[in-house]
Amino acid sequence: MERIQPDLFEGSESLPEPSAEITALAGRLPPTVRFGTSTWTYDGWFGDVYHRRYRGPQPAKRLEEYARYPLFRTVGIDSAFYDPPSEEELRSYGQALPRGFPCVSKVWDRITAKRLGQEAPQPGLAGLRNPDCLNAALFKDSVLGPYTRVFRDHAGCFVFEFQAMRGKDLPDPLQWADQLDDFLKELPHDFRYAVELRNPELLTPIHGEVLKRHGVAHVFNSWTEMPAIGEQLDLGWTFPAEFTVARALLKPGRRYADAVKQFQPYDRVQEPLPDLRQDLVRLVSEAHRRRVEAFILANNRAEGNAPGTIRAVARKWLEGDADAGS
């Protein structure tokens, strides 16, 4: 068992300087390219991203170190999917982050789920239709409220993740576009939003038209049942906003539980995915060509180690950019 040592670092001034190689790599990236990870509380990153020893998750303390890693210019607050963070939590994150460091926050699944899960708020409701799906008032009160009061400086964008809908829960593309349009028109315009789908059937031009009408981004996602990010790029309508979001989550066809079993403790890249890396390079190139801000988030479950995935993609993109300029 690994021995937990006392935290010897009381302030960021006593942390070691980032490696010169990573600092130089980050310095060559355009400021509009924002790499980051989907969550950040992983002991397997010790010696790379982290140099302090932590007792448990300690998300705010780790976030201070996370933000010092030169390649990280954003972070995904994925835990917000299960419960919206409190003002106290957001305030602790804000105190740990540099001014203006933007976060990509997933939205509470109470807003996006068609059916309530096993953790339904009231006994007997598990598995039933969710009455709060696409409830704009609940979103503005329970999600946006705390961010507005204490975390606005770090609210990069909000991701509405719609998990795979089955059977009667899956609307046809026209119904879906109407439902989403009605929801988005009720949202305040002073925040940025993005929509992540897990149903390939809904990746239609009419969905793209709704996103464009409201200035909402499409989330390019690498996920079990979704077409590859490169195929999503080829759709033609997937840059509907003045920014974009990508989430490299899983190898298409792989189940989440299998990736967890294979890759824990996430301390190294175990299975490089050349196609995924190339798709992300294409996406960064297209975003750079369009001059839109790109939030590129990697997950440990993609290749085994999210920081390693980001380093590889950044190097590959810069190599291609240098070749194009020569």
Q: How confident is the model at residue 15 (pLDDT cuts 50, 70, 90)?
A: confident
Residue-wise pLDDT for 228-284, tens only, equals 999 999 999 999 999 999 999 999 999 999 999 999 999 999 999 999 999 999 999
- CA 245/CA 243 separation, integer angstroms: 7
Rounded mean pLDDT of the chain?
93
Q: How confident is the model at residue 326 (pLDDT cuts 50, 70, 90)?
A: very low
- What is the pTM (predicted TM-score) of this model? 0.93
- What is the helix, strand, coil percentage profile of the chain, to 5? 45, 15, 40
pLDDT given for residue 10 in this prediction: 42
pLDDT given for residue 14 in this prediction: 78
Residue-wise pLDDT for 85-134, tens only, equals 999 999 999 999 999 999 999 999 999 999 987 666 666 667 889 999 99
For the record, the structure tokens of 178 come out as 């109407």
DSSP state, 143? Answer: I
User: What angle do helix axes 59-66 and 87-96 make, rounded to 10 degrees?
Assistant: 30
Residue for token pair 């990697």: 298
pLDDT higher than 80, residue 3? no
Residue of 203, 194, 193, 258 lying closest to 228 (CA atoms): 203
pLDDT higher than 60, residue 187? yes
For the record, the structure tokens of 79 come out as 């835990």
Residue-wise pLDDT for 131-166, tens only, equals 999 999 999 999 999 999 999 999 999 999 999 999
Largest CA distance in the chain: 65
**pLDDT over 70 for what percent of the chain?**
92
pLDDT given for residue 157 in this prediction: 98
Residue-wise pLDDT for 58-79, tens only, equals 999 999 999 999 999 999 999 9
Residue of 266, 274, 268, 326 lying closest to 301 (CA atoms): 266
- CA 92/CA 270 separation, integer angstroms: 33
Residue of 203, 183, 206 lying closest to 193 (CA atoms): 183
pLDDT given for residue 116 in this prediction: 81
For the record, the structure tokens of 33 come out as 């390219």
Q: How confident is the model at residue 43 (pLDDT cuts 50, 70, 90)?
A: very high
What domains are defined for the chain?
Answer: 31-325 (3.20.20.410)
pLDDT given for residue 123 in this prediction: 65
